[in-house]
A and B are shown apart, each in its own frame.
Chain A
Amino acid sequence: MVYKSDLHIHSCLSPCGDLEMSPSDIIQTAKSKGLNLIALTDHNSAMNCPALNELCMNDGEISCFFGIEVTSEEEVHILTLFDRLDSVMEFSDLIYKSLPEIYNDPDKFGDQVYVDSENNIIGEVDKYLGSPSGYNIASVIDKVHSLGGLVIPAHVDRPVYSLSSQLGFIPEENFDALELSKNYVLGGNSGGNRNIILNLDNFPHITNSDSHYLNDIGAVYSEFETDDLSIESLRNLLNRYQISMKIAKNRQS
């Protein structure tokens, strides 16, 4: 089966995510854009993944991975992806506990709410999710791999919160892939300094929308083919560079 996947989507849990980004609205929008695989990847928390899991299981037409966009100690955003809800929730708990005791002010930073499958708000996360976690890049890789997940540095070309902005180079670590931003794939200027990106070609690339608003979902996506969808099969496809970056048709003209 061919998967059109957008594996970097924020929900209303991320302080910068639109309140309309509920798991159910994300699923409906993704399906309307022709996607059949998505991942929910909020900053430093997976508290909206249980609702996503329930909705996906009942839907049948779209598959879901669960993720977290971790902020490392270096303040690099790293996409982590899992196919097991218990694994992502275990990782979410570790990351949350490691966040500094800085509490969210919804008026300044935005709401951090999590919902059930019917869009009812069931809770609010207290610590500010934009803070860096206590995990550095190497320890994120160790922990996520031990839990069976994938580690993909996010939007590596961007001028903020990326490997290129924070380190200025791509370290020789066991990354499963690198994510290139929407602007990079669309050929525009992502604002980052591409000249300082070293080792970019040493890893497979994927692209995702990094949506914070419903309209952005699926603007770019990654396509691959497998008959056995799992994180393990995606890891193998990435190892063989069998994944391609795509631009949504209505954006190509």
Chain B
Amino acid sequence: MKVNELASKLGYEILTREHNDADIKDGYTSDLLSDVMGNASEESILITIQGHKNTLAVASQLDFPAVLICNNRTAALDMLETAEKLKIAVLRTKDNQFVSSYKVYCEIKG
């Protein structure tokens, strides 16, 4: 499923002004970036509360098309600037990571 379709279906806010509308092949939920780097598969959507630019460093290494920020947490300005440069979408939801994981799983794997 493409980034824009997922965001629209689940009502996610899109915080980045531009991104590649790439295919989301898998998902991974974690707030420890070292864990993400070690265990997530490529082209996943990352479900997390870590709204800072270091999240993008890991996301770009693994070719993630999107990062979903949960609990309506703030995404730092430099995170969004980095994301726009890398063409990675930063989405946001009021749902927590547990609920988000369920909803995203149903869409991309269900």
Task: List the interface of chain A (C-beta within 8 A of B).
Answer: 73-74, 136-139, 164-169, 171, 193, 196
Contacts and interface: CB of A to CB of B under 8 A. Distances in A.
Interface residues of B, number: 16
Interface stretch (B9-17, B29-37, B85-93, B102-110): B29-37
23 contacts: A74-B50, A74-B54, A136-B76, A137-B52, A138-B53, A138-B78, A164-B34, A165-B32, A165-B34, A166-B32, A166-B33, A167-B33, A167-B34, A167-B54, A167-B57, A168-B34, A168-B36, A168-B38, A169-B37, A169-B58, A171-B54, A196-B37, A196-B38
A122 B97 CA distance: 41
Contacts of B58: 167-169
Contacts, number: 43
Interface string B14-58: 000000000000000000111111100000000000111110011
A137 B36 CA distance: 19
A101 to B, nearest CB: 15
B54 A137 contact: yes
B57 A169 contact: yes
The secondary structure that dominates the B interface is: helix
Contacts of B33: 74, 166-168
Closest 5 CB pairs of A and B: A168-B34, A136-B52, A168-B37, A167-B33, A167-B54
B37 A74 contact: no
Nearest to A164: B34
B82 to A, nearest CB: 11
Contacts of B36: 168
A222 B38 CA distance: 33
A168 B37 CA distance: 7
Contacts of A138: 52-53, 76, 78
A74 B52 contact: yes
Contacts of A139: 76
A49 B1 CA distance: 55
